[in-house]
Amino acid sequence: MRILAIIGQTALLASLIIMLGFEFSVPATGIPSALILLCFAIISFLTGIIGLIVGCTSSFDSGSRRAEFLVLMAACTMPVILIQVMIGFQSFSLNKVNDVTTNIKNPPIFNQSRDRRLAARHVSQFWNVLKIPDKVTAHPSLNSIKIGMACDSAVRAAFSTFHYLGWPMSFADRTSNSIEAKASWSIGSRVHDFLVRVSPHEKGGCTIDLRSASRHERRDMGMSVVLLNRFASRFSEELNKERRERGLVYEDR
């Protein structure tokens, strides 16, 4: 039980320190902190589950010692529960993906090049094993969003969506009809570059294409897809508000 307590305390403390680093905007480095957090959280969770079983079935010197041990083991399960609430483990992926779009044939283009958008340019050789090729990938289920409204309505809906999600806009170009933002999947400042492109139709209506790209050259653990899903879900609600304000009943196609 002492070994379980030491392992549990170490993994729990490491998980909390990394989470606090996300929250208080520790400068980005080449260290895959999200992957390390996930590993520590799983170790902490497994230790907590085993500890709860051992604590309930083993004998202790006193009831207070048992209670202290059970509380510690229960606390060890909290990082995984928090991650599940914020993201959902079903969303994690180890595929070689870090740049995802809803329009793979004609993906939206960021204002800055990939190299200029990298969070850390000087990465230890030790982490190069995690590096993947620079490649834009299609979202597994989302496609371009087509609406029967003017693009101005889509732009207002995009602004409202960014505001609701707490993603600060970093660039907006009315001539190319593109809006960029810093999209965060975590509790802090770990961000992806997010792009919305609106394209008007000749006969009216508008097409909206989305793109989310990691600022690192390694797997994004499925977070680009998570961010695209979050945006699309809230964007749909904001479009419905625009429709109600104008008395429109068009449906997305």
Cα distance between residue 60 and residue 51, in whole Å: 13
**Same domain as 186, residue 232:** yes
Supply the pLDDT for residue 123.
60
In a domain, residue 190? The reply is yes
Q: What are the pLDDT digits (tens) for 225-241?
A: 999 999 999 999 999 98
Q: Do the beta carbons of residue 146 and residue 245 sit within 8 Å? A: no
Give 148 or 122, the one with higher predicted confidence: 148
Cα distance between residue 201 and residue 207, in whole Å: 7
The secondary structure of 63-129, three-state, reads: HHHHHHHHHHHHHHCHHHHHHHHHCCHHHCCCCCCCEEECCCCCCCCCCCCHHHHCCCCCCCHHHHH
**Same domain as 148, residue 48:** no
**Same domain as 113, residue 151:** yes
In a domain, residue 135? The reply is yes
Supply the pLDDT for residue 250.
47
Residue numbers of the domain that contains 10 = 2-86
**Same domain as 134, residue 235:** yes
Q: What are the pLDDT digits (tens) for 17-35?
A: 877 766 655 555 667 777 7
166: left (phi over 0), alpha (psi -120 to 50) or beta: left
Q: Is 60 helix (H, G, I), strand (E, B) or coil?
A: coil
Distance, C-alpha 226 to centroid of its chain: 6
Q: What are the pLDDT digits (tens) for 81-139?
A: 888 887 787 888 888 899 999 999 999 999 888 888 776 666 666 666 677 888 999 99
**Same domain as 9, residue 124:** no
Which domain CATH number covers 217? 3.30.310.80
**Same domain as 82, residue 103:** no
Last residue of a domain, one of 40, 61, 86: 86
Cα distance between residue 56 and residue 71, in whole Å: 12
In a domain, residue 92? The reply is no
In a domain, residue 12? The reply is yes
**Same domain as 73, residue 45:** yes
Supply the pLDDT for residue 205.
87
Q: Do the beta carbons of residue 155 and residue 131 sit within 8 Å? A: no
Supply the pLDDT for residue 28.
58
Q: What are the pLDDT digits (tens) for 149-203?
A: 888 889 999 999 999 998 988 877 766 688 999 888 765 556 789 999 999 987 7
pLDDT at 6 over 80: yes
**Same domain as 230, residue 159:** yes
How many domains does the chain fold into? 2
**Same domain as 202, residue 124:** yes
pTM of the predicted model as reported, rounded to 2 decimal places: 0.80
Over the Cα atoms of the chain, what is R_g? 22
Supply the pLDDT for residue 176.
63
Supply the pLDDT for residue 253.
47
Q: Number of C-alpha atoms within 13 angstroms, CB side, residue 220?
A: 30
